[in-house]
Amino acid sequence: MVNTKVSLCGKVLENPVIPASGTFGYGAEFAKIYDINCLGTFSFKGTTREPRFGNPTPRIAETEGGMLNAVGLQNPGIDHVLAHELPEMQAYFHKPVMANVSGFSVEEYVEVCRKLDDCPQVGWLEINISCPNVHGGGMSFGTDPEQAALVTSKIRHVTKKPLIVKLSPNVTDIAAIAKACEDAGADGISLINTLLGMRIDLRRRAPLLANRTGGLSGPAVFPVALRMVWQVYEAVKIPIVGMGGVQSAEDVIEMMLAGATAVEVGAANLVNPFACRDIVNALPTAMQKYGIQDLNEIIGGAH
């Protein structure tokens, strides 16, 4: 019998498979078609202080090897999540959930995390620092080590929950940013968020997305994500949640060999709503195929 259990920031997951934020909602739609308690956990929709309608449409475009999205953090806001989404989630998900938090100022991140700190259902806070800093000229918090450290430090002071910082790949030195977050009190690093991309409609001679640019995800980004997980593993001592183009149990194993403790699955959920369940089911067979008895023994095993 193989062991698929891993420990993420002190909390045990039955397996390392986690649906990524923005691709799984709050789990309710998926819970109608399979028992989502088979998952390690899931990262719910990116949540901000105020409700957000998101960007104008069209905001999703297909591309070879993946997709572009510019959804714009559409969500009902933290107060609605606390009053409705989390209480309703208790009926269909019986494990700690990962809360993905987004914001446009340090104060907004802090306020949302302070409110989530009192919620027993939330096991981890995943902080998306790819958002534009409205007080910093619009540059993403995640593109500058000092800004990444600042928001991490401020959140650290208002929560006791494990703090996992989600990094943008649209940088020159992701390892330096990861190390800055670790030094500022992060318990884990989550990477990668989407790569900035664009497509043009040949008939209209205009960008396909109303937002002009969007985030590229899907199998095309897997080698980039794997490279960044590898680099960050060499730079930090805290756990890594790897993601980016993961589609199979073999991809999960590859991410873990690069240094990931757990692995998020994003775009694959939008192609096949059973993707995460299928990966969980296939994982023991894949482990046996490659002579793996315990997943913990292969974390960073390719270094």
Give the active site residues.
Answer: 131
Residue 51 neighbours by CB under 8 Å, 6+ apart = 75, 76, 77, 80
Distance CA 241, CA 7 (A): 11
Amino acid, single-letter form, for residue 18: I
User: Is residue 240 classed as helix, strand or coil in its secondary structure?
Assistant: strand
User: Is residue 92 classed as helix, strand or coil in its secondary structure?
Assistant: coil
By C-alpha distance, which of 46, 216, 53, 189 is closest to 131? 46
Distance CA 152, CA 103 (A): 12
Distance CA 282, CA 249 (A): 6
